[in-house]
Structure 1
Amino acid sequence: MSPEENKPPILSVEGLGVYRGKTCMLKGVDWTVEAGEHWAILGANGSGKTSLLAAITAYLMPSEGEVRILGDSYGETDWHEVRQRIGIVSSVIAQRVPNDEAAIATVMSGETAQLGYWTRKRSSNEDKALRCLELMGVDDLAHRLWGVLSQGERQKVFIARALMADPALLILDEPCAGLDPVARERFLLSLRQMISQTPELGLILVTHHVEEIFPEISHVLVLSEGEVLASGPKAKVMKSEILGKAFGAKVRITKNRKGIWQLSTGCNGQSLL
């Protein structure tokens, strides 16, 4: 067996359940992300996407089941250290960045997965931060203040911040929310370019919109009412019947010549999402 075959999955979820009182947030979730796989998570509001992210990043205590990151089990290791192996980009976290903080300082704060970078001396960390910004195509924004960045620029800076800790897994929680169509296209293009330069980085993209599932996404997880409705290679999961069940409507899923998926209602061909 080769060394590559000996490596544990980046993420392993087995029998994950989250209950709060009589409310079932997640039930019986089994999911594995291997090195180099790029996943999209789809599901309607209330399907369990947010709860799943919170559970795998140790912000929500599971009621049952097991979560492992690179072979380390939740509850059996220092989860703060494990969490540093996961880069997460979320609007909830981004809202806590001070408006008067320079983009490069925001990026450097990602090295310890903590917001706020108060050591102002120049160091090799700054060089690394510039490289991470360059990877996202925004190194020219290094000394721009957070408060004057556009939404798309902020998302790119925050991905650069997530890359500072050299994570094995990058989680993007609805990164295109609030972007206009042109900004969204530019953002997804920069994301695709970043992925091409970091082939071993696992990716999880959470979205409501199938058109954001770009060609480099290899697998799709579909949630419905806290359970896994479908999971696996993209071509097997992106089916009209599966997504119709997920969103509670009759839909038609198609793919254009550029490899971009589109979802429309089955009755009139109009866009559903």
Structure 2
Amino acid sequence: MTSPIVSTDAVTVVRDGRSLISDVSATIEPGQHWVLLGSNGAGKSTLLGLLGAQTHPTSGIVRVLGHRLGRVDMRSLRAAIGHVNPRHPLQYPLTVREVVLTGLTNTTELVQRWTPTPRQLDRADALIAAFGVAERSDARWPNLSQGERGRVLIARALMPEPQLLLLDEPSTGLDLAAREQLLTALDQVRLENPRLASVLVTHHIEEIPASTTHAILIRGGRVLAQGPIGEVLTSARVSACFEHSIEISMHRGRWAARALAPA
């Protein structure tokens, strides 16, 4: 029997006396690709932080890669998790290749006295090529477009060959073409890595890749619905999640939303 990649059981997170998420239970299996959908402040990033072994719950149980948070070195868990954050902080103008290599050390900068192996260098170059930025391999981070940065960050997250890929609003700041390039790259990654599980956070229906299999709707820190994406992303449920009348449609695997005029 296959063990879940990550699971939460009746998880609550309270910070400064305020409940950020409440009584959240979910299970993500290998090969599943989830989207966390909700408005700003709904609790999506808080839940993603738990799944990525970045924070502890106030109550409840979180298991990541077979280990219960609170009973394991969280740093060792993070080494097996790829995290894509479009607000990736950099103090020095690293090249594309150097940024991708930092995925092995789980740092934002190159580690002193650390030298990648020839195999690691080859993997970095292969990922850079796979995401269509091979010609920019020596370009400095500040000189990249937002679209290029997004693809480089996915390559970085895949360097340690993770079992779990977390994407925190990866389309932030992208224009239409760059967004579509990013989503196409994500679909390809998922196709080529059938055991990989992933979780994408967004509040835009249009940013959900076609390869997404499951969805969670979250509002006010509570899960409104979860399960196979076709059962969760209904007009009624999405309207309840965003407290606005919204019509949901799907064409060729991609989702769209349209606000309904008042009756």
Band the TM-score falls in, shorter-chain normalisation: over 0.9
Whether 1:228 and 2:223 are equivalent positions in the alignment is: yes
Matches within 5 A, 1:77-88: 77-88=72-83
Closer, same or farther in 2 for the Cα pair 1:163/1:119, shift >3 Å?
farther
What is the identity, as a one-letter code, of the residue corresponding to 1:135?
A
CA contact (8 A) 2:225 2:232 kept: yes
Q: What secondary structure is seen at the aligned counterpart in 2 of 1:253?
A: strand
Distance 1:12 1:263, change over 3 A: same
Aligned with 1:91: secondary structure?
A: coil
Match of 1:218 in 2: 213
1:107 has 2:107 as partner: no
* Matches of 1:235 and 1:121, distance apart in 2: 46
Question: 1:160 pairs with 141, 155, 158, which one?
Answer: 155
How well do the aligned residues superpose, as a CA RMSD in angstroms?
Answer: 1.7
User: What SS does the corresponding residue of 1:41 show, helix, strand or coil?
Assistant: strand
- How far is the alpha carbon of 1:119 from its aligned partner? 4.5
Count of equivalent residues: 261
Q: Which moved more, 1:19-28 or 1:238-247?
A: 19-28
Q: Structure 1 residue aligned with 2:132, among 131, 137, 142?
A: 137
Map 1:1-273 → 2, pairs under 5 A: 5=1, 7-92=2-87, 94-96=88-90, 98=92, 100-117=93-110, 118-119=112-113, 123-124=117-118, 125-256=120-251, 258-267=252-261
Give 1:182 shift.
Answer: 1.4
Write the letter of the residue equivalent to 2:104: E
8 A contact 2:56–2:69 mirrored in 1:
no
Q: Which amino acid in 2 is paired with 1:224?
A: R
Query: Which AA in structure 1 matches 2:180?
Result: E
Q: Shift of residue 198 of structure 1? A: 1.3
The TM-score, its normalising length taken from structure 2, stands at: 0.94
Q: Give unpaired runs (5+ residues) of structure 1.
A: 269-273
Q: Secondary structure at the match of 2:166?
A: strand
Task: Give, in whole Å, the separation in 2 of the partners of 1:21 and 1:251.
Answer: 34
Partner SS, residue 109 of structure 2: coil
User: Aligned partners of 1:230 and 1:136: how far apart in 2?
Assistant: 33
Long gaps (5+) in structure 2: none
TM-score, with length taken from structure 1? 0.91
Question: Equivalent residue of 2:150, what SS?
Answer: helix
Which stretch of the first structure deviates more once superposed, 226-235 or 59-68?
59-68
User: SS state of the match for residue 36, structure 1?
Assistant: coil
Q: Which moved more, 1:242-251 or 1:17-26?
A: 17-26
Quote the offset at 1:123 in angstroms. 3.1
Letter in 1 for 2:214: H
What is the rounded CA distance, in whole Å, between the counterparts of 1:244 and 1:201 in structure 2?
Answer: 31
Deviation for aligned residue 1:136: 2.0
C-alpha distance after superposition, 1:55-98 (max 9, x if no partner):
22233331101111121110111110011111111123x13252
Amino acid at match of 1:116: E
Q: Distance in 1 between matches of 2:5 and 2:156?
A: 20
Return 120-129 or 207-216, whichever deviates more. 120-129
